[in-house]
Chain A
Amino acid sequence: MNCQDVRRFLYAFDDGALEVKENLEILGHLNMCPSCAGRVDADQRLKERLAGSFGIERAPDRLRESVLTQLHPTTVRRPARWIIRAAPVLAAAAVIAVVAGLWWSQAPDGSAVPASDSIVAFDPDRPVAARELAAAFRMGHLQCSAVGRAHHAKGLSRHLPTLERELSASVGLDVLAPNWRNKSLRFVSACTCGMPGGVDGAHLIYERMHVKTVSLYTLQPTDLFDAFERDVVDGAEYRVGHSEGLNLVSWQGAGADYLLCAIGEPGRVDVLIRDLVAPIRVALAETGVDPTVGLVLAQADFDARLARLVGNVSSPAILVRQNALTWIGDAPR
């Protein structure tokens, strides 16, 4: 495909509306063409901007009353003034309660509370079964996905390298915000979410073809995943769990734990690791390179950008591209 061919379908590609074959053909072109790739980025920024510019208007209270009156012609409903004034506060409080309850509720006697439809809770001082923890993260993934675009915290950049720096500074961890576009995964949203045991962390969501398929958590170092099964893939150890259609893969970084939560069958865990996790983990753990540098460079999918980067890199760094590592500058001893 050349640029003309690609641009006919560029918006449809960006909206996840193409068949797999066309999708892959366009991805192949985007990996080589910074110009067309830039158009995709620009289109995503346009969508974000439109949503941000218009998306926060609320219906006036008088309209709400009029509509309700219309539905109940014999009964005039007029909410108390304090309810109208307090509505935004009450709504915010309800959201906070749900989010907090998601992770930190526990029974009065301190024991773990069985999972319910909407709240998963456990005792952070007791060992948690892998199945329970997997269910908790599954619920977290689904809840945050269901919030949609509003899950993205206000003020956070949507530019992945910038987002990575912002979140890392915010939670004091080496937060990962990888670019998985070459895996047909599009970044959706990020925020700092409440995590099991009260630890802070970051939660990023990615989607494929409009299905929000992947959550990537960066967490304070924790023993939460010790109950997971051990899985060794290509010589590296991972802790894996599976719960009701979601695979979970956890691994330890230098100063943080990472958890990937993705839709898939249990037998697909190894593929998931090789596809998404291994390149990042290898980059972080085996090179001694500053993770942020490594990951910023990992965004450089395109040859033209790479050429510019090589000229500007002053310290050893790596490029992660299609599961292969390439050194830029001098490799560390």
Chain B
Amino acid sequence: MGSVTSGKSIPYMLGTDPADPRFVFDLAASADTAFAGYDVSFAAGPRPPAFLIRQTVDSGSFANGNTAFVMNNGSVVDWNTSGGTVSSSGSWQQSSTEVQGWWMLGLMCSSATVSGTITIGSRIQCGFLVSTLDPVSNLFVAPSGDGGSNYSQLFQETAYVNDGVESNSGGDWFCAYVTVPVYRATITAQYEHFDPGASALKKVVAGSVFWGIRLGDV
């Protein structure tokens, strides 16, 4: 007879039970199994949802003041345990069954000059276009655009300068990171260059990566 505790199912004897000579063994075996389970979980390490998308071909060229959606011209999903999906245009769509969560996003972007001559020191920048819903109303809360009096969709516009000296591509490599709370979100990494004094055309180079990892619930 005997019984087990309601939480961890640890066996114990009742005062009305006949003495079971193996009772202490049952208790020891229960502890043995529980400890072995902890071993497995600790050895397994972390498994937070994550994704990593890598651009596989160079983008088309774009002129001063234009925005390029990174991963838009051919990409491969190197990692996706996010539960979400990656569109053919390189956007990541959060799982619709995921509760609102904190995500850390990163973009490592390689860009190069296609034609023309860049102005050394002119600006290039990258950012994350985040479309997310309010978890209570299920309404889209941010109007489009990245300026004006509204909350912006565009997070972490990280600016660098054109040097055109990167050792592999003769362009530039730079990185941006942001942490945002999102719900049913669609997120796209983007790149812009601003070289008002020149007619240089630029491209995003294969090998650039857009990635994210879930940090926890909001």
Partners in one complex: no
Query: Interface on A for B, CB 8 Å cutoff?
Result: none
Q: Which residues of B contact A (CB under 8 A)?
A: none
